[in-house]
Structure 1
Amino acid sequence: MAFDIKNIPFSRYGSFLSVSYLKKRKGLEEGLYLRNIRGGDNNDGAVFKIDVLAENEVVPFESVLEPTSLELVSEHGSVKLVMGDVDNVCLSSENVGIRFTLVRHAYDNAFSRSDKSWQINVFSKKINFMTTVLEGDLTVDAPWNVNGCEKVIIDFLPSAKTNKMNGILEEFTITYKNKEFKQDFEVCHKKVKESFQSWQEKVLSTPKEYEKGTKQAAYITWSSMVREEGKLIRPAMYMSKNWMTNIWSWDHCFNAMALLKHQPELAWDQLMIFFENQDSTGMLPDFINDEFAYWNCTKPPIHGWTVLWMLDRSESISNNHLEEIYTPLSKWTNWYFKYRDYNKNGFPEYHHGNDSGWDNSTVFSEGIPIESPDLCAFLVLQMEALEKIAVRLEKDNEAEVWKQKQESLLEAFLDYFWKEDYFTAYVADQQVKTGDSLLLFMPIVLGKRLPKDILNNLVEGLKDESRFLTDNGLATESVSSTYYESDGYWRGPIWAPSTMLIIDGLYRAGEVGFASELSKRFCNMANKNGMAENFDAITGEGLRDRAFTWTSSVFLILANAYV
């Protein structure tokens, strides 16, 4: 079960450390780097470049990435790295050494703590490291210059007697707590194996033909978890530890859904983490990480749909859980009508493509703000979820209010957005005419709540192989559109969230066969090409970030329950 380090990073559950292959850019050589992924994706987080040493010279190596270890193999010998705990990297080698070269910035420095340990203070990354050799030698080249070191190069070298090296690199942010290491490398490796094995046993089961994809999805979801820190007051699943090192306010829903069956409390953590960062007006941030929340846009309100999905499939959601989410979910719903309905016609707007999650969809080509039918569909479902929660909590009057609101919105939304045989969107009171986006089919999430003729029209459009349907699933822009791009983000590629939402809508509308077929196409593609951020709709090739958690989660959900 080996992965390609150029596509999938090396990390573990709970850690903010990640080893990734970075391409050359200004001030950075191409190669393997130990990264600190705190602070989001505005910076690649590169801390140390990693090289293999033979007789004190850098030598070529190949990387062998398995779920619990990374081995750097040269013709002279190999080095193995494991993350025995969330805050360290354990090292072991035979015949060769390993070099960590600091990606240096102002004030960065290193100093000796003993002949076996050096401390590195990385001002630029707000982190410190303690490097300790347990067997072998530690040599450091870190010449001091006024208020920092000119460079910092740390070499873990094998013992002259045994040709073996064992060492450890620990990260800390404030004060180092002295530790006495009595565990050898294999004990550290055993600990991380146990962690991954425990996670793997709780991953949703899938048909045997999806074994490859299931193993990859298990590793990506496990290794993308970070521990509670800063604004993250619950353990959180990042979208990736490659480049997308945040959580966005609809991505977390799909990850919660995949965790629900076997890890219900962790699933609830994923759902609630955004509501704990909710603004007093009710708005949810676009994304969060350990350091900050970002507010210039938000993401679509699929949280009610998520709650309904979870309530249908698990008895683990108690009344205490529902009490916890009821008020925040109400505020999130009301926010759209109070703050995002500028013309006061009862239909909230997206202020940017990013607000919809479909960043550059052709629906947004003619300007903003946009009144889009998917937004109202999601809000109808959110009101339905609030009605069900209110009933459970014996808030009968409030349940009746939510019921009336959803019925009124559904009736008005259909009258406003449905034009004979298609849904439309509006900008400045004019219908959007650009392109042919799958976004306008998203109201199918309403399932049987849609009139039969509308439902039939939507299904017929989705089955049209000259528009969206390909061998791999549903393209996000019609393949016949002049705006279609094979790697055009939301103008063509297949995405996990749009796939999941549409399949679930089809399933609940009684289109079980079609939903199953779409599930198979998506799962076959992901099983073959990996858990990428999105996929070429025609070839199925993985695009952009190649180690994405919502793709992993949707793959597991579909393979488990929909194929």
Structure 2
Amino acid sequence: MLDIKKVPFSRYGSFITISQNHHETGDDSLYIRNIRNGDNDFGAVFRIELIKDSGTVPYTAGLTPSVLRLNAEFGFAEFCITERKVLQIKSKGVGVRLIGITGVYDYAVKVEQNRWEVNHSSQEIRYLLTTITGNMTVEAPFKEQRCEKIVVDFLPDSSVSEMECAIEEFTTIYAHRSYLLFSEGQNRVQAEFDYWYANTLEMPERYRDGRLLASYITWSCVVPPEGMLTRPAMYMSKNWMTNIWSWDHCFNAIALAKKSPELAWDQFLIFFDLQDVSGVLPDFVNNRYALWNFTKPPIHGWTLRKLMEKTDHVTLEKLQEVYEPLVKWTNWWIQFQDTDCDGIPQYNHGNDSGWDNSTIFHKGTPVESPDLTSFLVIQMDVLADVAEKLNKDVEAARWRQRSQEMLTRMISHFWKGNRFIALKSGTHEPIHSNSLVVYMPLILGKRLPDEIVNQLVMDIKYKGFLTEHGLATELPSSPYYRNDGYWRGPIWAPTTMLLVDGLLSAGERELALDIAERFCEMATNAGMAENFDAMTGESLRDPAFTWTSSVFLMLGDLLKEAF
């Protein structure tokens, strides 16, 4: 059983979501939501209540992948998203009340004897409400340009005390004259999830509960192509982070590669579908809009290499599809993010790094950081591999040369005695920081000199970054460390994955597996949160995150293969 207080109820391919709004208001009511507006809008359209004899009754909620069940003293109500635009409800002994969360121009109108349309203009969506068995009453007094309120009661048939209804979302005209039986729809949805679950990465048995949760989160967070979304897209969450960001999608793609390679390729390519002519990728996208004020780090070469390792689905045709976009993305950093022209690209804002408030930015920006240069070294090397496969031998040789030149420049620029540091771009003033981000060059593995690898590994083992639960993003002894400090302390899935992979490539298998094990243990116990308290392992921020789920599954798969 899943926890509706943490995990929204939804399904693969649907924007319909039911969850609490406690993130903003502390409200423990359940809401039917439209999550098309990005994370600036909770998207509530109806608040759900159970009723008996016209009065509301308390309930407890239970959640499985196919059904949300609300149990009350006098009966129950069950909810199932039987099709991607259809939410069906059945109840016994109690009725279901939907209270519209209305705004300007929202109204309800009766269209047939057993059907009402609710035009939720503030959410840019319409709903067709249909009774299948039982009765519906609607209170929707219209004044001037809107209904002052919209209250819909679905009431059980008096003879059998049962009710069944459907709520169908649409934009212009609705599609259905009749609906599946609730039980038939539930069986279909459960079968779909069971297939997904069977095709998630395998893990040691002790992580079984975590695997079920991670599978449900990744499955239920996929939305269909619509608007700006050119492909099926795995949102980061259907709680609050209802977008995809331009590095988060990489981890989801890798986790899908073994068992769902076509969907994995869709996750990887979706941002390149939106790429600007300059080469930059947007920071995030949802079905309505893309944000261009920031971007995210170029881990896409590293990702492509992982995809090629994990599946033969990445054919020459697919490499041809991605080669030029990856070239443009690489060159954008070199051409447009190096204002002092020293050959070392920079971050102009913490958001561009993915480590939004890391302490390498506490002196301001722009900042030259060794993680960015390391990602580009790998990306150039991968471009060389791809160019060779595409018989572009001259380009391949040039990318190999550029990669080696960047690596040499990176070590000379950032390695100071016994550690990597970040620098202010232009002045090259050292930035003294105890952030884990300066250890990201470990992703280069054996391409780093042995003495550098050894020093970085010693620091991770003994300096204090490695807690009982995994890798803190800021050294816990740092004056800037905060338990819930976003990138100033908490454990994050993507940084864990990158460093585990780097340690493996550097030959530090024992440490890599140890970190993977700590993370999987923590996530199984605390859930698939956006991040975690490094000292207690408790979940922080959004408690149902896909890239955490994906990293958990990948690390579990690694442990399964290792032991």
Report if TM-score (shorter chain) is over 0.5. yes
> Match of 2:135, as an amino acid?
D
Aligned match of 2:72:
74
CA contact under 8 A between 1:12 and 1:223: conserved in structure 2?
Answer: yes
The yes-or-no answer on 1:195 pairing with 2:195 is: no
Q: Deviations over 1:331-362 (max 9, x none)?
A: 00000011100010000010111100000000
- Residue 457 of structure 1 is matched in structure 2 by 455
List per-residue Cα deviations over 1:110-168 (Å, max 9, x = no partner).
01112211000001000000000100001100011122111101111100111000111
Maintained 8 Å contact 1:24/1:30: no
Determine whether 1:293 maps to 2:290.
yes
Q: Which residue of 1 aligns with 2:22?
A: 23
Amino acid of the structure 2 residue aligned with 1:550: W
Deviation at 1:456, TM superposition (A): 0.4
Question: In the alignment, which of 136, 142, 160 is matched to residue 162 of structure 1?
Answer: 160
Q: Corresponding residue for 1:110?
A: 108
Partner of residue 347, structure 1: 344
Structure 2 matches for 1:492-507, cutoff 5 A? 492-507=489-504
CA contact (8 A) 2:526 2:537 kept: yes
**Equivalent position amino acid for 1:140 in 2:** V
Cα distance in 1 for partners of 2:135, 2:168 equals 17
Shift in Å, 1:178: 4.1
Structure 1 residue 13 and structure 2 residue 2: aligned? no
Counterparts in 2 of 1:215-294, with a 5 A limit?
215-294=212-291
C-alpha separation in 1, matches of 2:2 and 2:178: 33
Q: Are residue 334 (structure 1) and residue 363 (structure 2) matched?
A: no
Superposed, 1:42-121 pairs within 5 Å as 42-121=40-119
Match of 1:303 among 300, 303, 309: 300
How far the C-alpha of 1:425 sits from its partner, in A, is 0.6
Of the candidates 511, 517, 521, which is equivalent to residue 520 of structure 1?
517
SS of structure 2 residue aligned to 1:325: helix
2: CA distance between counterparts of 1:358 and 1:141? 49
Q: Partners of 1:527 and 1:278 in 2: how far apart?
A: 36
Cα 1:25–1:443 change in 2 (3 A) is: closer
Q: How does 1:527-538 map to 2 (within 5 A)?
A: 527-538=524-535
Question: Shift in Å at residue 367 of structure 1?
Answer: 0.5
Alpha-carbon shift at residue 29 of structure 1 (Å)? 5.7
Amino acid at match of 2:498: L
Q: Structure 2 residue aligned with 1:132, among 108, 130, 133? A: 130
Task: Decide whether the 8 Å contact of 2:20 with 2:27 is kept in 1.
Answer: no
Cα distance, 1:313 vs structure 2: 2.3
What letter is aligned with 1:477?
A: E
Contact 1:366 1:432 in 2 (8 A): no
- Equivalent of 1:149, from 126, 147, 150? 147
Q: CA deviation at 1:194?
A: 1.5
Tell whether the 8 Å contact from 1:41 to 1:244 is kept in structure 2 after alignment.
yes
Distance 2:306 2:174 in 1: 45
Give the deviation of 1:283 after TM superposition. Answer: 0.2
Could you list the runs of 5+ residues in structure 1 that have no partner in the other structure? none
Q: Secondary structure at the match of 1:216?
A: helix
Deviations 1:260-318 (A, max 9, x none): 00110100000000000100000000000001110110000000001111212222210
Kindly report which structure 2 residues correspond to 1:377-392, keeping only aligned pairs within 5 A, or say none.
377-392=374-389
Alignment-derived partner of residue 429 in structure 1: 427
Query: Which amino acid counterpart does residue 230 of structure 2 have in structure 1?
Result: I
What do residues 511-543 of structure 1 show as CA deviations (whole Å, max 9, x unaligned)?
011101000000000011100000000110010
State whether residues 437 and 476 of structure 1, in contact with CA within 8 Å, keep that contact through their aligned partners in structure 2: yes
- Give the Å deviation of 1:23: 2.6
Distance 1:418 1:43, change over 3 A: same
Q: Deviations over 1:451-507 (max 9, x none)?
A: 00000010001101x520101010000011011101100000000000000000000
Aligned to 2:40, what secondary structure does the other structure show? coil
User: C-alpha distance in 2, partners of 1:264/1:177?
Assistant: 32
Q: Offset at 1:88?
A: 1.1
Q: Which amino acid aligns with 1:339?
A: F
Report the secondary structure of 1:551's partner residue.
Answer: helix
Q: Distance in 2 between matches of 1:517 and 1:369?
A: 35
**In 2, Cα distance between equivalents of 1:53 and 1:322:** 57
The amino acid of 1:170's aligned partner reads: E
1:169-228 superposed Cα distances (whole Å, 9 cap, x missing partner): 1101222234223x3110111111111111111100111001000000000000000001
SS in 2 for 1:469: coil
SS of 2:38's equivalent? coil
Q: Quick check: 164-173 or 308-317, which moved more? A: 308-317
**Do the aligned residues in 2 keep the contact of 1:33 with 1:49 (CA within 8 Å)?**
yes
Q: Count how many residue pairs are aligned between Structure 1 and Structure 2.
A: 559
* Separation (CA, whole Å) in 1 of partners of 2:409 and 2:89: 63
**Residue 433 (structure 1) shift:** 3.6
User: Aligned in 2, Cα 1:395/1:266: closer, same or farther, shift over 3 Å?
Assistant: same
Partner SS state of residue 177, structure 2: coil
The structural deviation recorded for 1:432 is 3.9
Give the aligned CA root-mean-square deviation in angstroms: 1.2
1:539 aligns with 2:536: yes
Letter in 2 for 1:517: D
User: Which whole-Å deviations, capped at 9, do the CAs of 1:397-438 have from their partners, x for residues lacking one?
Assistant: 110110110011111111011001100111142444443000
Q: Is the 8 A contact 2:423 2:431 kept in 1?
A: no
Q: Residues of 1 paired with 2:195 and 2:147: CA distance?
A: 43
SS in 2 for 1:334: helix
| Alpha-carbon contact 1:49-1:103 (below 8 Å) kept | yes
Deviation for aligned residue 1:14 = 0.5
Task: Please tell me the residue identity of whatever aligns with 2:231.
Answer: R
Superposition map of 1:368-379 within 5 A: 368-379=365-376
The whole-number CA distance in structure 2 between the counterparts of 1:416 and 1:217 is 40
Contact 2:168 2:174 in 1 (8 A): no
**Distance in 2 (alpha carbons) for counterparts of 1:65 and 1:367:** 46
Q: Structure 2 CA distance, aligned partners of 1:29 and 1:142?
A: 24
TM-score by length of 1: 0.98
TM-score (ref. length: structure 2): 0.98
| 2:553 matched residue in structure 1 | 556
Q: In structure 2, what residue type is equivalent to 1:511?
A: E
CA contact (8 A) 1:366 1:434 kept: no
- Residues 303 and 382 of structure 1 are in contact (CA less than 8 Å); yes or no, is this contact kept in structure 2? yes
Letter in 1 for 2:111: R
Q: 3-state DSSP class of the match of 1:31?
A: strand
Measure how far apart 1:4 and its partner are.
1.3
Structure 2 stretches of 5 or more lacking a match?
none
